[in-house]
Structure 1
Amino acid sequence: MCRPASSGLQAGEHVSILSTSIRQDAEGRYSLSDCWKASGKDKKNQPSKWFEAEKTQEFLRVLGGDPENRATPVSLVTTGPNEGRGYWADRKAVIHYATWISADFYLTMNVSSRYKPTTTYHSGPHIPGLMCLAYP
């Protein structure tokens, strides 16, 4: 289930997937730790394992383009309050992470405002323009 945590998603707010809040930081990035918790917390699916995977690094290089001219799609925060630490990712990187975890988890997140799925994989209202992180 993917539901807005509040009306109108703003930076610093979050969505909820399978009753787990997915926080956004001040830069609009999503917490991969929260996504991992929503997926069931299987150790093999930890954000660090996804980040270290060769295919992930290839994806991030393509997504990020020239590092001097574009924002990094994933950041590891290691300082500051504990609730702000961990991997924080932009929308496209979160989608990649969800597909890396499993097709079922991706489909749970996949609530389209552009396309109407023939099978419902979620319950509750969709978040317009977010596809629970999947489409702009």
Structure 2
Amino acid sequence: MSSLVVADTQVNTDSEGRYCLNDLHKAAGGLSQHQPAKYFSNQQAQNLISEIGEHAVTRIRGRGKAQGTYVVEELVYAYAMWISPSFNLKVLRAYKQLQTQGIAVADHAAADLLANPLVYLERVLEQAKQLEAANRIAVAERNVAVNTIAKVSRTLKEVGRKLPNVNLNKLPSSLLKLGYFYRGSDGTYRVYRSKSHLFSEKFIEHKGWNVITPTEQGIQLQR
């Protein structure tokens, strides 16, 4: 996937092709009144998210460059228009250029590109290498997920069968009601510390969510 560049700022994407709103905020000037959190606090944004569906927004936590809030294309345009019509126009033009030519050049960088084409070519090649490596990793992780998700789900259900008052069709919410899980501030399921001997959690940074599996002691419940 080619990179979207707005106002000389590269806008990162996640494995699902969503765009980093934090990068767009930076491209717009980084003013505090334009922070993504403030955009999401308005009702119009919430209505649009509800209309698009739960896949519209995801958050990647951690300390790497990938951390941030990622949104689908429709929300990119809506966020840009919320900032200003002129910024929305910059985003529209950058995206159009990306789609038609595969690479977008900021207006103010055009002269420098013509004067120093090799410098820009090196940057593009480096980005291409990074994207190719990221794609290979994403494919490998997707294959691993396909092979393991059924096993993890089955094991959780087997443990759930040994716990009283658990609805196996709504396993996470049932375990939440019974005091095994709770919802974090970002809406993800977390394991109570007092139940960590039964369930463990691992944060998948590039996906932005926790994977919960039973521990060896938790598995013993099914035996």
Same fold (TM over 0.5): yes
Q: Which has the higher contact order (CA 8 A, sep 6+)?
A: 1
Query: In structure 1, how many angstroms separate the alpha carbons of the residues matched to 2:48 and 2:19?
Result: 17
Q: Over alpha carbons, which structure has the higher Rg?
A: 2
Determine the C-alpha separation between the residues in 2 that align with 1:40 and 1:58: 26
Residue 99 (structure 1) aligns with: 81
- Alignment: residue pair count: 101
* Identity within the alignment, %: 28
Q: Which has the higher helix share?
A: 2
- Match of 2:98, SS state, is coil
SS at match of 1:84: coil
Correspondence 1:22 to 2:22: no
Displacement of 1:82: 2.9
- Runs of 4+ in structure 1 off by over 2 angstroms are none
**Are positions 1:89 and 2:71 aligned together?**
yes
2:99 aligned to which of 128, 132, 136: 128
Give 1:127 deviation, angstroms. Answer: 1.8
TM-score normalised by L of structure 1 = 0.66
**TM-score, structure 2 normalization:** 0.42
SS for the counterpart of 2:15 is coil
Report the Cα distance in structure 2 between the residues aligned to 1:24 and 1:62, rounded to whole angstroms. 22
Distance in structure 2 (CA, Å) of the matches to 1:63 and 1:55: 12
1:1-136 to structure 2, matched below 5 A, reads 10=1, 14-64=3-53, 67=54, 72-78=55-61, 80-111=62-93, 126-128=97-99
